[in-house]
Amino acid sequence: MKKKFSLFGNCQTHALKWLLQQSPDFAAGYEEIPVVESYLMSPEMAEDFCERVIPQADLIIAQPHSDRMSRWHQHDELRAACERTGARIIFIPQVYFSVYNPFEQSVPGIGNVWKDAQLVYLDRFMFSKILAGTSFEDFLAETEKSTVLRRHFLDQCMKICVNYQSDVEDRRACDIKILHYLLENMRSERLMRCNNHPAGRVMKFIADGVLRELGIDFSTIQTEMFQNHDSLIYPFVAEHFGFNVTSPVEEVERRFRYYTDFLAGLTPEEGEKLRADFEKAAWTD
């Protein structure tokens, strides 16, 4: 009879599940108790996870958030629930690493209103230049410039990323740790598709770590699980951090035209509201 497992975490756990099931031994030995991602859970659903799902499970794979990303049940509550039932729990890190494009963030009043992946995670650097009337050719020239303010901004972003990942992994006692791997390999290969969607190599590292914890063959398949959106990597960012890759001009132009076409389709009233919402949150140089 197969053992029961369940996952508690964000969209990264959905990708992790697919990778784990590429292992014949894991697929033969474990059957999932499916639940929605933790960020979609109401307090009642989270209670149900602890009171109904965990007692049925032999294995819980959980992704605790830091305090500032707190949801309903976290490290201590999940561990205590597993201890009561005898279920094994493996904690994996939430990966949020925004150094490839630290300008790409959610802007309240824009992405949430327009329900579009390319607007939910808005490239504030590009968007601010478009709102200022910058042409695409002039924008390309801007991406080559490394100013003192931009270098300071990038250094602050790296510090925030490292502190955040350390908090998730160490203070929450994750069994699998990814920060050292990110810092060691981020220059030689792109490790994030966007700020919260890891590349296949990162997800494989986490999946192999889970299988290693279970004593199972951990040669999972490396594949890209998140393909709907890629952050742009600008030349001045690549130069600052020593990345060996920048986004092709065609990708930059495609995003630029997407934003300009979107803005051109707004009514004057919508455009005025969007500009006001953007200016409340925008980074400017």
Please give the torsion angle defined by the CA atoms of residues 46, 8, 181 and 69, in that order, rounded to the nearest 10 degrees. Answer: -20
pLDDT at 221: 73
109: left (phi over 0), alpha (psi -120 to 50) or beta: left
CA dist 94 and 211 (Å) reads 17
**Which phi and psi angles does 264 have, rounded to 5°?**
-65, -25
Tell me what pLDDT residue 223 has.
76
What pLDDT does 150 receive?
A: 94
Give me the residues of the chain with pLDDT under 50, please. Answer: 66-72
Looking at the DSSP bridge assignments, the partners of residue 222 are none
- Exposure on the CB side of residue 144, measured as CA atoms within 13 A: 6
- Select from 25, 26, 33 the least CA-distant residue to 85: 33
d(CA 70, CA 222): 30
- What is the pLDDT at residue 69? 41
pLDDT for residue 271:
86
Q: What is the mean pLDDT of the chain?
A: 88
pLDDT at 115: 61
